[in-house]
C-alpha cells in the first residue's frame, strides 16, 4: 500500500467534544467526547441504532451536528473544508460505486473528483493494490460482495487520505473475503493512517486496533486501550456494558 501523506496539521487526528445530533425528537448522539492520535486505530462497537453511522457521517462532514465541536485533521467538520475532505476516506456497507462502470472507470472518476494528478495511473495503481487489476475492465455489477468491498478500499484510498472511516466493512463478507479485507486493513494501518472502524465482529475489531470503544444509545459507554481488554472475555464485557448503559438511561 502507498504510504499516507503526512497531515499538515499538528495535534490529534480526530477530536470530538460534546457532539450531539437530533433527528426530530430522536436524539441519535447524546454528547460524545474522544480524541484519536495520528496513526491510531479505533474499533467502535455497539448495538444497531447506537449512533455509530451517525458519528461517522458527522466526522466525514456528510451530516451536521446539532451541537458540539469536532475536528478532523485539524479542520472543523462544520466548515466541511475541501482540504479536510482530501484528508479522509470512507468505506461503508454501500460501495459508492457505479454498477455499470468498470473498476478503472469508477476509480478514475473518483480520482478526478479528488483532484488527483495522473488519475488514470493512480487508479490502476490502487486497483492493483487490492488485487483487482485482472478485472479492471469488467462491469462492477458482475462483482461479488467481497470484490466490491476491495474496490471500495481502492476508491477510499485513491487520493491517499491520512484518515479512514470504516463503517461495518465486514458486513456480508464470507470468511475468505474477510481475511483478504483484514490483510488490506492491516496494510493501511501499517502506513500510519488513522482509522476509525465500526463493527459487530469482535475478533476482527480487536485484532488490529489500538483503542476500543463501545457506543450505546448515542453515548460512549466504554473507552479503553486494547491492551486493557481481554479478547476472550470481551463478548461478556460488551453485553454487560450495553446492559448497564441501557439501565442508566
Partner 1 sequence: MNAYLSQVKAIVWKDFVTEFKTRELFSSMFVFAILVMLIFIFSINLSVVGANQVGPGILWVAILFAGTLGLNRSFTLEKENGCLQGLMLAPVDRSAIYFGKMLSNLSFLLIMETFLLPVFMIFFNVDIGSHLGPLLIVVFMGTLGFSALGTLLSSLSSNLKTREIMLPILLYPLIVPIAIGSVRMTGQILDGKSLADMMNWVGLILCFDIIFISVSIMTIDHILEE
Q: Which stretch binds partner 1 (CB under 8 A): 58-66, 69-77, 172-180, 186-194?
A: 58-66
Separation between Cα atoms, residue 178 and residue 186, nearest integer Å: 12
- Residue 67 near partner 1 by CB under 8 A: no
Give which of 218, 195, 217 is closest to 208, Cα–Cα: 195
Among 3, 99, 144, 224, binds partner 1 (CB under 8 A): 99
Judge whether 59 and 135 are in contact, CB under 8 Å.
Answer: no
Which CB atom, from 59 or from 185, has the smaller least distance to partner 1? 59
Report the alpha-carbon distance of residue 140 to residue 102 in Å, rounded.
Answer: 5
Binding mask 70-89 for partner 1 (x = CB under 8 A): ------------xx-xx-x-
Q: How far is the CB of 218 from partner 1 (least distance, A)?
A: 18
- Residue closer to partner 1, measured from CB, 37 or 64: 64
149 Cβ contact list (under 8 Å, min separation 6): 91, 95, 169, 173, 177, 181
Binding-site member from 11, 115, 231, 233 for partner 1 (CB under 8 A) = 115
Which whole-number Å values give the CA distances from 183 to 150, 161, 178, 201, in the listed order?
11, 18, 9, 16
Q: Which one of the spans 107-115, 181-189, 208-216, 225-233 is the region binding partner 1 (CB under 8 A)?
A: 107-115
Minimum distance, C-beta of residue 236 to partner 1, in the bound complex (Å): 35
Residue 239 interacts with partner 1 (CB under 8 A): yes or no: no
Cα(1)–Cα(146) distance, rounded to whole angstroms? 19
Q: Which residues of 29-43 are buried (b: 16+ CB within 10 A; e: fewer)?
A: bbebebebebbbbbb
Say how far apart CA 212 and CA 225 lie, in whole Å. 6
53 near partner 1 (CB under 8 A): no
- Residue 210 CB neighbours (<10 A): 17
- For residues 98 and 223, which CB has a smaller minimum distance to partner 1 in the complex? 98
Nearest-approach distance from CB 214 to partner 1, in angstroms: 26
Closer CB to partner 1, 193 or 211, in the complex: 193
Query: Closest approach of Cβ 232 to partner 1, in Å?
Result: 36
Q: Under the rule (CB under 8 A), what is the footprint of partner 1? A: 60-64, 82-83, 85-86, 88, 90, 92, 94-101, 105, 109-110, 112-115, 139, 155
Amino acid at each position: 500500500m502507498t504510504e499516507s501523506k503526512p497531515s499538515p496539521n499538528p495535534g490529534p487526528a480526530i477530536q470530538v467534544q460534546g457532539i450531539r445530533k437530533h433527528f426530530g425528537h430522536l436524539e441519535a448522539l447524546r454528547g460524545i467526547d474522544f480524541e484519536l492520535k495520528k496513526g491510531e486505530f479505533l474499533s467502535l462497537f455497539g448495538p444497531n441504532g447506537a449512533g455509530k453511522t451517525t458519528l461517522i457521517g458527522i466526522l466525514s462532514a456528510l451530516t451536521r451536528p446539532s451541537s458540539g465541536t469536532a475536528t478532523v485533521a485539524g479542520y472543523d467538520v462544520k466548515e466541511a473544508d475541501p482540504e479536510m475532505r482530501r484528508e479522509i476516506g470512507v468505506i461503508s456497507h454501500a460501495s459508492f460505486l457505479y454498477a455499470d462502470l468498470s473498476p478503472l472507470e469508477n476509480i478514475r472518476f473518483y480520482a478526478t473528483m479528488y483532484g488527483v494528478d495522473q488519475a488514470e495511473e493512480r487508479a490502476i495503481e490502487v486497483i492493483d493494490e487490492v488485487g483487482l487489476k485482472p478485472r479492471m475492465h469488467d462491469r462492477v455489477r458482475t462483482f461479488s460482495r467481497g470484490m466490491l468491498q476491495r474496490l471500495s478500499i481502492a476508491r477510499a484510498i485513491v487520493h491517499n487520505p491520512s484518515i479512514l472511516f470504516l463503517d461495518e466493512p465486514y458486513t456480508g463478507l464470507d470468511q475468505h473475503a474477510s481475511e483478504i479485507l483484514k490483510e488490506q486493513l492491516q496494510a493501511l494501518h501499517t502506513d500510519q493512517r488513522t482509522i476509525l472502524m465500526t463493527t459487530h465482529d469482535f475478533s476482527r475489531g480487536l485484532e488490529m486496533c489500538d483503542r476500543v470503544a463501545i457506543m450505546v444509545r448515542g453515548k460512549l459507554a466504554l473507552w479503553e486501550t486494547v491492551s486493557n481488554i481481554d479478547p476472550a472475555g470481551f463478548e461478556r464485557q460488551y453485553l454487560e456494558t450495553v446492559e448497564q448503559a441501557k439501565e442508566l438511561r
